[in-house]
Chains A and B, each alone.
Chain A
């Protein structure tokens, strides 16, 4: 991978995120990478994991929907929902890296199987609501990511055959959501539905003990269920009722579970990294998320500003290089007009210089805009430490690329 030409000019004089200190701090045991869609959460999580392992940590990384080639380069050809050792990473430093891809449905299945008798589990799996819920509900992937994080944390401290604990750092990627806040909100939204009044109402009959319930149904309730049956068909309600009853018995309350994971996230040892690209939308999402973490008392480590434009010539501004382009191209046009155009090569020279300056002007135009947005974020959130990662010309899909991103992250301090 070729190095980006030059570094991003150092941003506003806000605090710089010292990624290596964060990774080297043994009390950091969970790192969560959040951000809006497509900003580089998966890339950042993977790059941090490789770097931490190569600095001697025993790392497990939970990735979600990684790009195909990135998954392959981490040895994640198969999606079997368990961590696999990534060879050649970290051994020299006494560290190690295990990686896994989240299989949402499989995780859900495992939870059901762990808590229900085989017959009960079968009944749940066969219910038409289960298929839809375990694979497509909004919120399920966030819920399952938290669930899996809980499992990995629990396993991290169970000594293996040689008596050592398998992992001392869990790095978590988050699902591709439209909003960074979804990671925190979706599980609660889901659980408040499942624990909500409507579900209680549907469950009431079963709790009241079988068929006798009919008599205790109030007028309002029967008009509700009546209306639903008319719109959705009676089968719908039956399926829903048995599904919810089954799950309820298994989970003993989704809300408790979500609350517990939530509490773990707020606990010591967890650090959140907010990832954003230097554009308005992503930074707005990042700002919401930063504010929310603060409000919820969750530990924010800092902002990773990913894919920032770099330049080899920071002092040649967009304005100046554009003026130079106009000057050169204006001259060329004149030459053509008065028929005194010199030989082809010499025209080519100017075309080349003008073209190179044009490229630079476009680059600087973007860069200046990005730095302006970053500066605004810095002014509005003065306490948030920032690490900048340059945009690479190519996608990041192999260990070499991840190491390069890791260097950029670590080198920020």
Chain B
């Protein structure tokens, strides 16, 4: 085990908010990386996780790196600058701070910090070298993005030596999708082929130490559909092969059963007479007492059959996820979409299932 300074569980991990929830799945985690197939709910999950982690008075940084302003959109805020801003205060004095990491700004900051590159920095920018380095030069962009996350994870406030408290109790990263996550987190190997020496190479090595440490967990968000599940299964294998610590598989947008399954099975197998359903519909005034209602019954059963087919498919996908051996965490589909209240509901679920 690499001896990253942050591998030791922090006092900030204690569940000091007095609630009785399931034990933490991953105690000691300071960096939660959230990945998954595009559009499955990475940003939503990352935001809910940040809220959940911040309860009980903790400070949590929610980072995004994809230039999408997904966090701002989710919280109904104007675009976030490259700056740490409190976007939510949670009960018990906790807060969620957001940061949209932008590679250009990160590089200029980096150059300024380490090289005091006044004139040369500007010259670099003028000829397009900054753009080049952050957009085209392989790996450099990822080193800068992960480097900034690394800095936030390790940052400590005022005080002396190791006594100083971490500025953030936890950092949640809304990361690139599964297709790119291995490459993204594995910046070290990516960059070593290109920048073999020099500060960028050195930085990449330090970042890798933290990424591989017990303080980091990579969670994969998926839907119970074929392609996202396939990507998740492949993603888990890829991350494990790269020795990156896989956390939970988060199944998002789980539909709740609205009908007891045995009843549905009976109805679809024709074991319930149509008249029984009709009587209920008459009672509910959906069908008039003097009408046959056959069309309505038939229509409702056809829709139920389709629902059933989808459930069967979901069961198969769920089995594939169980086979990864990672803990599964489920988030319900919020019928009206995700709003501030919805995020709190999702955060509740994450706490109940031990992810926060």
Question: Footprint of B on A, CB under 8 Å?
Answer: 2, 4-6, 36-38, 67-69, 128-129, 131-133, 136-138, 176, 178, 189-190, 193-194, 196-199, 201, 220-221, 223-224, 226-233, 235-236, 239-240, 281, 311-313, 316, 320-321, 324-325, 327-328, 331, 345, 348-360, 362-363, 365-366, 393-395, 397
Q: Which residues of B in the span 108-129 have a Cβ within 8 Å of any Cβ on A? A: 111, 115, 117, 119-121, 123-124, 127-129
Instruction: Report how far A365 CA is from B139 CA in the complex, Å.
Output: 45
Say yes or no: B300 contacts A313, CB within 8 Å.
yes
Instruction: Report how far A132 CA is from B139 CA in the complex, Å.
Output: 8
Say yes or no: A6 contacts B199, CB within 8 Å.
no
Say yes or no: B284 contacts A353, CB within 8 Å.
yes
Most chain B beta carbons < 10 A, residue from A132, A133, A355, A358: A355
Q: Contacting chain A: which of B16-24, B55-63, B93-101, B303-311?
A: B303-311
- Give, as a whole number of angstroms, the nearest-CB distance from A230 to chain B: 7
Which residues of B sit under 8 angstroms from A176, Cβ to Cβ? 38, 179
Which residues of A sit under 8 angstroms from B277, Cβ to Cβ? 349, 352-353, 356
Other A-B pairs beyond A196-B128, A232-B195, A331-B283, 20, CB < 8 Å: A2-B309, A37-B38, A136-B180, A136-B183, A138-B135, A198-B132, A232-B200, A236-B196, A240-B137, A312-B299, A312-B303, A349-B279, A353-B279, A354-B280, A355-B258, A356-B277, A356-B301, A357-B300, A358-B258, A362-B258
Given A233-B198, A327-B284 in contact, is the A352-B121 Cβ separation under 8 Å? no
Instruction: Report how far A23 CA is from B60 CA in the complex, Å.
Output: 54
Q: Contacting chain A: which of B84-92, B156-164, B225-233?
A: B225-233
Given A67-B226, A348-B263, A393-B306 in contact, is the A224-B194 Cβ separation under 8 Å? no
Supply 26 A–B pairs (Cβ within 8 Å), ascending by A: A129-B138, A178-B68, A193-B131, A193-B136, A197-B127, A228-B124, A231-B111, A232-B194, A233-B197, A236-B198, A312-B299, A313-B303, A316-B286, A320-B286, A348-B272, A351-B263, A352-B280, A355-B304, A356-B300, A357-B281, A359-B303, A359-B304, A365-B335, A366-B335, A393-B313, A394-B313
Q: Mark B288-305, 1 if CB is under 8 A from A, else 0.
A: 000000001011111111
Which residues of A sit under 8 angstroms from B298, Cβ to Cβ? 312
Any A CB within 8 A of the CB of B259: yes
Q: Which of B123, B136, B194, B276 has a CB less than 8 Å from the CB of A349?
A: B276
Say yes or no: B284 contacts A227, CB within 8 Å.
no
Q: Which of A2, A194, A197, A220 has a CB less than 8 Å from the CB of B305?
A: A2
Say yes or no: B296 contacts A313, CB within 8 Å.
yes
Say yes or no: B195 contacts A353, CB within 8 Å.
no
Any A CB within 8 A of the CB of B201: yes
The 7 tightest CB contacts between A and B, nearest first, are A353-B280, A355-B259, A132-B138, A312-B299, A233-B198, A324-B284, A37-B38
Say yes or no: B306 contacts A2, CB within 8 Å.
yes
Most chain A beta carbons < 10 A, residue from B190, B306, B307: B306
How many residues of B are counted as interface, with CB atoms below 8 angstroms from the partner's CB atoms?
75
Chain B's closest residue to A277 (CB) is B39
Q: Which of B38, B124, B180, B310 has a CB less than 8 Å from the CB of A227?
A: B124
- Give, as a whole number of angstroms, the nearest-CB distance from B128 to chain A: 4
Any A CB within 8 A of the CB of B332: no
Instruction: Report how far A351 CA is from B127 CA in the complex, Å.
Output: 71
Which residues of A sit under 8 angstroms from B309, Cβ to Cβ? 2, 393-394
Question: Footprint of A on B, CB under 8 Å?
Answer: 37-39, 66, 68, 111, 115, 117, 119-121, 123-124, 127-129, 131-133, 135-140, 179-180, 183, 190, 193-201, 225-227, 230, 255, 258-260, 263-264, 266-267, 272, 276-277, 279-281, 283-286, 296, 298-307, 309-310, 313, 335
Chain B's closest residue to A312 (CB) is B299
The prevalent SS among residues of B at the interface is: helix
Which residues of A sit under 8 angstroms from B272, Cβ to Cβ? 348-349, 352
Say yes or no: A313 contacts B138, CB within 8 Å.
no
Which residues of A sit under 8 angstroms from B38, Cβ to Cβ? 37-38, 176, 178
Chain A's closest residue to B203 (CB) is A231
Say yes or no: B132 contacts A328, CB within 8 Å.
no
- Give, as a whole number of angstroms, the nearest-CB distance from B32 to chain A: 22
Given A137-B136, A362-B335 in contact, is the A395-B198 Cβ separation under 8 Å? no
Instruction: Report how far A297 CA is from B114 CA in the complex, Å.
Output: 48
- Give, as a whole number of angstroms, the nearest-CB distance from B114 to chain A: 8
